[in-house]
Amino acid sequence: MSKLKIAHIAHSVGGVDVYLRNIIKNLDNEKFSNIVIHGLNDTNSPFLDNKKKVVKSYKTTLVRNISIFNDVKSIFAVYKILKKERPDIIHAHSAKGGIIGRLAGRLLNIKVLYTPHAFSYLSADNGIKKTIFLLIEKLFANSNSVLVATSNSERNRGLKEVGYKENKSIVFNNCINPISEIKPLSIAKNWPENYICTVGRPCYQKNIDFMIQAFYQIRKQKDIHLVIMGVGHHMGQLNIVKKMINDLNLSSHVTLLNWTSREDVLNIISKSQLYISTSRYEGMPYSIIESLALSIPCVVSDCDGNRDLIEHGYNGYVIKDYVIEEFKDSTLRILDNEILKNQFSENALKSFKENFNIINNISKLEKIYIKHIESN
């Protein structure tokens, strides 16, 4: 029997890149082959299958931001690649990959699985943008595509707000391999031992300016440091965050790290007191899954993805309505109570093992691929 060919189309950065690499690395190499179509400036690291062989990849002008010229160019480029490769199914990732993948799939009569990694309209910072982005999502729903949500929250949003039908929406949780080794840092460590951490570029989604305000209140009662990883591409509100840190006299208590290796991220999370997220929206954040796998308790905002990973009072705290006082009190409650912290740590690892270990879950995605290839 010949292998089933999957074409992945993505703006492959951040969590999308991690998701892609994890599923390609864990899919059964005897049953599936993969190709990856992604942006010119996404990544230079090769994608490897479960035999550590390099997967064929193509770079196009696919970019995160809206650009009519680049987007039209990308559609034609992706169409040509897919016509040449003739995959059995397309797996499109994120908003831009989803639009281009579904257009090309429709032209070539190839079924598309679409994983938003957080719907595009959630990123809109005004009502007009949100309406337009939501309309685009609605136009493409239920055509030649099936929604493969990364969490129950994302699927529910797809059903209630975008208009997906029940039989055209499924869940495959973001998952990772168990973390068996923590490698030494490849960068200089210039922060103290006692710290909390987060991963997130300063932008509307990650809401880092709110986090700085909450941390300012935490610092009034606890001598603790904050490490923010992922300050690099798509910097958005970086200057605003830097000014706030300076204005609140937190410059010696907050470390901003540019993009670094995933191994460094894991090292930093593993030695932290807890992980904090103040995001306005998420798909299914890998940094929180990694925190669970590393037995690190979390204090997170009540948004899609976060609430699917953290059970309030079990492996951390979920804070509703972005109340600074609640973030402060919940963080201090964990930091000041070693017994509670240890219990949350133990429960965090249990949560990972039961729900987010890709070795246990990859067969579900393989069945999804086979089912929709056979029904095409």
List, for residues 184-193, the tens digit of each pLDDT value.
999 999 999 9
> Which of 341, 323, 320 has the alpha carbon at shortest distance from 332?
341
Please determine, for residue 216, whether its predicted confidence score (pLDDT) is greater than 80. Answer: yes
Q: Is the pLDDT of residue 1 over 70?
A: no
Would you kindly state where each structural domain of the chain is located, as residue ranges?
4-176+358-374, 195-355
pLDDT of 144 over the 80 cut? no
* Inter-residue contact 35 to 60 (CB < 8 Å): no
Same fold across 4-176+358-374 and 195-355: yes
Look up the CATH architecture of domain 4-176+358-374: 3-Layer(aba) Sandwich (3.40)
Asked if residue 45 lies in contact with residue 18, where contact means CB atoms within 8 angstroms, the answer is: no
Query: Taking the complete model, does pTM exceed 0.85, yes or no?
Result: yes
What would the CATH number be for the domain defined by 195-355?
A: 3.40.50.2000
C-alpha–C-alpha distance, residues 167 and 30, integer Å: 29
| pLDDT value of residue 233 | 53
Query: What is the rounded average pLDDT of the residues 219-241?
Result: 86
Phi and psi for 167 in degrees, rounded to 5?
Answer: -80, 0
Residue 99 has which token pair?
């639009």
67's tokens:
């650009």
User: Following DSSP, what letter does each residue of 277-342 receive, concatenated?
Assistant: E--S--SS-HHHHHHHHTT--EEEESSTTHHHH--BTTTEEEE-TT-HHHHHHHHHHHHT-HHHHH
Per-residue model confidence (pLDDT) at position 236: 62
Q: What is the mean pLDDT of residues 336-360?
A: 97
